[in-house]
Chain A
């Protein structure tokens, strides 16, 4: 509700978010988007006023103003309008725009610094106003209650009330005037009319008692007409208390994004012309060589050129373990260097760093509107003028019903009470504060949510479609089976490569099979022979660039096996490799390669068939050795198959738990994959042993995935598609909510509705749970805000008086009104503890 964007503006924002269209490219070359921090907004109506003003500036194609974040986002043509003239337009309607004194205006860190100072100054001003209001209101209140009557009492009260009205309350009257000029009404209007009526009447009663005494009947003619200074001043004091609490709570709602912004260090150490110098981080340019010492934050994105370290990337990915980085690895600005000193070449600086992209995306999301906010919008459009009418009606009714003596006072007091209790600020805060807190919380957990509408849709998801490769599984092959044909392994090659390897412990190869997985599960063998086989294979594959070869090398490295450098290496694309390890010829590849090389696969045929049936990729390992008998010259060496290695794409460790959690949340889980049915079923059994995955759709081409998603939607299901963002793109777009897992550093951020920065399916459950909680909080907020007004207005009008004799004092109404805003905010802040 706080985000005010014209439909045209929303379309453009959408386009800007989807980078692949030619239209967008043209848009980008002609227009420019800027986010300006605005101060002085007190209400949603202020945001509307500023938005309309900005849209009226020639050259501006779209404008959106977010009351919750105090930002105005403007898309404009730089050849027609400048940032300064935009700022001038905002100032012309009584608000201010903050611009950093020098340097890059669009550097979030420097804007954040300026905003911080402005917020503190505004908070200070609010405090001073409240202190003045409180100090003068208390004696007025005491005087009015004590029933002391002395000559000139009303003049004393007037003198005490004047500073409260004209200093502390000035902002309400200014705000009300600004909106009346635009023929709008907001909470300032209600406060101004309410307190203004009480104060003006009291001044007249003080200065010219004769004028109003008649309205109060005969008694007033003798004792002077009653005055209501305490009503006006107490309302202003209580509303200011509410504003102060609101300002504090609002500061907390955007804490998460502030923490992200302040992640970037202020300075960077770079090498220029061979000299190491320290410069402000904003001045690092592409290709600069940056030095980072242990404990320091990395200033920009880049590629490690020298040295290495373990880096804590938890602030970007939510992953708690440090990640090892060696030359060639990518490092990200804002992450913390833990152990070593290293140098890197800056690749992305300033606005382009991953951190800045995330910050911008979260800011955009925080400003976006959820469709649920529309109802509140429509109602608040009618609300304030109708409340004014109701208040007038209340006055007339009381005046007409009561006998001459008390009727004017009762009518006036109820008139003011209706205006004050109906201030619509709780309604205005209900949706945006919840979205603000939820998107911030998500970002903290490595879940980037594109906007309020996504949160709302994600809260209604019934079915989750999981892509298998790269989502449930790692997306790269891992060694799952090692089968050695023992008698053939007694060669000097194995003895040298794997000394003392007999009786080794069974290694899990990084995957723990479920207990009931037999043919579908993964086999591992405790014998050292297998390790020797793996060491030989890894040595032969060491220079291989093929994913299968690399998987074998990884498996050997993970088991800390010796991997030798091959003397000769030849890759045979489509077949395998032929290498010489420690003077012995080793051949690794598929069955065709074995046939080509004249090695018999007979001893392992049964095992090979079993692995193939369990959808493994099978690699044969053959080594050259002398025959056991007969002539034993080097020319007699024969190639013999000594073992098999089975490889498969294995599930991520967290997948099984995440699937379980989603099932527990009542979600229907469907797995979709391009792989054959046997492989798909095996993976489904491994991650969902209790049948949590209700359907497996196998053998699907990438472009057919979207069709399956559509079919599910046609059955009335609200579908979330979870994929790795590249080949799943059409399905991600078709789904109600597209969730990209991993690769959160890429353009994938731009393509999906929700991006998980960590390669963990648990984030999907987290994101859906967060969305559900957020929708719950928004509904509670709206319910309380509406219920409060529906109940409060009749009570303030005096509807209970005929039955119970209750009449609501305007002061209590002011307290209740402040309390309602604060309670809505506090309710939204509960999301922080998710």
Chain B
């Protein structure tokens, strides 16, 4: 693994975590919707 790959892997993982928190975290629209459904 070269430096770029390590960077992309760490960046990708953080991005996925951010997406999950943003859409499913407290007060998110998706969460409110699922609760209502």
Residues of A near any B CB (own CB < 8 A)? 6-7, 48, 52, 179, 182-185, 215, 374, 377-378, 381-382, 384-385, 388-389, 392-393, 395-396, 399-400, 404
Partner of B33, one of A7, A48, A215, A392: A48
Chain A residues positioned under 8 Å from B37 (CB to CB) = 374, 377-378, 381
Chain B residues positioned under 8 Å from A215 (CB to CB) = 4
B18 CB to nearest chain A CB (Å) = 10
Complex Cα spacing A399 to B34, Å = 34
Contacting pair A183 B12 (CB below 8 A) = no
Contacting pair B22 A183 (CB below 8 A) = yes
A183-B20 contact in complex given A7-B36, A396-B9, C-beta closer than 8 Å: no
Contacting pair B27 A404 (CB below 8 A) = no
Residues of B near any A CB (own CB < 8 A)? 1-2, 4-5, 8-9, 12-13, 15-16, 19-20, 22-24, 27-30, 32-34, 36-37
Contacting pair B16 A400 (CB below 8 A) = no
B1 CB to nearest chain A CB (Å) = 7
Q: Would you mind naming 22 contact pairs between A and B with Cβ atoms under 8 Å apart?
A: A7-B36, A48-B29, A52-B32, A183-B22, A184-B23, A184-B28, A184-B29, A381-B30, A381-B37, A382-B24, A385-B20, A385-B30, A389-B19, A392-B15, A392-B16, A395-B8, A396-B8, A399-B4, A399-B5, A399-B8, A400-B1, A400-B8
Chain A residues positioned under 8 Å from B22 (CB to CB) = 183, 385
A11 CB to nearest chain B CB (Å) = 14
Partner of A389, one of B2, B5, B20, B30: B20
Chain A residues positioned under 8 Å from B1 (CB to CB) = 400
Partner of A385, one of B13, B23, B27, B36: B23
Contacting pair B36 A6 (CB below 8 A) = yes
Contacting pair A389 B16 (CB below 8 A) = yes
Chain A residues positioned under 8 Å from B32 (CB to CB) = 52
Chain B residues positioned under 8 Å from A48 (CB to CB) = 29, 33
Contacting pair A182 B12 (CB below 8 A) = no
Contacting pair B16 A182 (CB below 8 A) = no
Contacting pair A393 B30 (CB below 8 A) = no
Contacting pair B16 A381 (CB below 8 A) = no
A400 CB to nearest chain B CB (Å) = 5
Partner of B12, one of A7, A374, A396: A396
Q: Can you name the residue of chain A whose Cβ is closest to the Cβ of B5?
A: A400
Contacting pair B28 A183 (CB below 8 A) = yes
Contacting pair A404 B29 (CB below 8 A) = no
Partner of B30, one of A7, A52, A185: A185
Chain A residues positioned under 8 Å from B33 (CB to CB) = 48, 184, 381
Complex Cα spacing A822 to B3, Å = 45
**Most chain A beta carbons < 10 A, residue from B2, B8, B9, B32:** B8
Complex Cα spacing A129 to B27, Å = 36
Complex Cα spacing A374 to B37, Å = 8
Q: A52-B32, A381-B37, A395-B12 are in contact. List 20 more A-B contacts (CB 8 A).
A: A6-B36, A48-B29, A48-B33, A183-B22, A183-B23, A183-B27, A183-B30, A184-B33, A377-B37, A381-B33, A381-B34, A382-B24, A385-B22, A385-B24, A385-B30, A392-B16, A393-B12, A399-B8, A400-B9, A404-B2
Contacting pair B12 A382 (CB below 8 A) = no
Complex Cα spacing A374 to B36, Å = 11
Chain A residues positioned under 8 Å from B8 (CB to CB) = 395-396, 399-400
Chain B residues positioned under 8 Å from A404 (CB to CB) = 2, 4
A262 CB to nearest chain B CB (Å) = 36
A377 CB to nearest chain B CB (Å) = 5
Q: Can you name the residue of chain B whose Cβ is closest to the Cβ of A398?
A: B8
Chain B residues positioned under 8 Å from A399 (CB to CB) = 4-5, 8-9
Q: Can you name the residue of chain A whose Cβ is closest to the Cβ of B10?
A: A396
Chain A residues positioned under 8 Å from B34 (CB to CB) = 378, 381-382
Contacting pair B29 A183 (CB below 8 A) = yes
Complex Cα spacing A384 to B23, Å = 9
Contacting pair A185 B23 (CB below 8 A) = yes
Chain A residues positioned under 8 Å from B24 (CB to CB) = 382, 385
Shortest Cβ-Cβ A-B pairs, 4 listed:
A396-B12, A184-B29, A385-B23, A183-B28
A180 CB to nearest chain B CB (Å) = 8
Partner of B19, one of A374, A377, A392: A392
Chain B residues positioned under 8 Å from A179 (CB to CB) = 29
Chain B residues positioned under 8 Å from A392 (CB to CB) = 12, 15-16, 19
Q: Can you name the residue of chain A whose Cβ is closest to the Cβ of B29?
A: A184
